[in-house]
Amino acid sequence: MERMRRLSSRLLLGGLLIAVLALGVTVGAFMPRDDDFFALRKNFEIFGAVYEELVGNYVDDLNPEQLMRAGMDAMLEDLDPYTAFIDEAENTAMEMAVRGRYGTVGLNVAVRDGRVTVSAPVEDASGYKQGVRAGDVITQIAETPTDDLTLSDVRSLLRGEPGTTVEVR
């Protein structure tokens, strides 16, 4: 059974590669070369085709949202430690913090190279005043190692009742 799965995966990925190459040739044939957005459009088409092929035909079930997020995280990881995607839930949480419904140390975090990393401290917030800066790696929050925590867990640990403290290493 395992051998069949590997063979099926190889055939799928081989077919995917052929489909991507054919799509690249097709897109290239119909788009003018002087178009400033040619490469951007071509790469979006290829990325979309790979994404659809994997979600629709991969040997195991995939979570489409998780797969897309992994692709975005990988893309941003190749940049600098200051660039991060802030999803709707994180944005809502930041807005709640600004409105004073709960306290926070004021650190936006992301995962870089498998480690919880500060992507942007909020200027004049507690974390910033304590010297935390973008690119700093958080290894522990309130005696809890961050190795196996999700970003949601990390954000929860960094929040609390206004006026309370939390130790961040």
Give the C-alpha separation, 65 to 87, whole Å: 12
Tens of pLDDT, residue by residue over 111-158, are 888 889 988 888 888 888 888 888 999 999 988 898 888 888 888 888
Question: What is the rounded distance in angstroms from the CA atom of residue 142 to the CA atom of residue 47?
Answer: 40
The structural domains of the chain, with segments of one domain joined by +, span 2-62, 88-160
Query: Pseudo-torsion of CA 148, 153, 154, 159, nearest 10°?
Result: -160
Question: Cβ of 51: how many Cβ atoms within 10 Å?
Answer: 15
Hunting for tokens 């992994």 — which residue is that? 70
pLDDT exceeds cutoff 60 at 14: no
Report yes or no on whether pTM surpasses 0.85. no
Output helix, strand, coil percentages for the chain, rounded to the nearest 5.
50, 15, 35
CA 142 to chain CA centroid, Å, is: 25
From start to end of 11-139, where are the E strands?
103-104, 107-112, 115-121
Q: Which CATH number fits domain 88-160: 3.40.50.300, 2.60.120.260, 2.40.128.20, 2.30.42.10?
A: 2.30.42.10
pLDDT at 50: 92
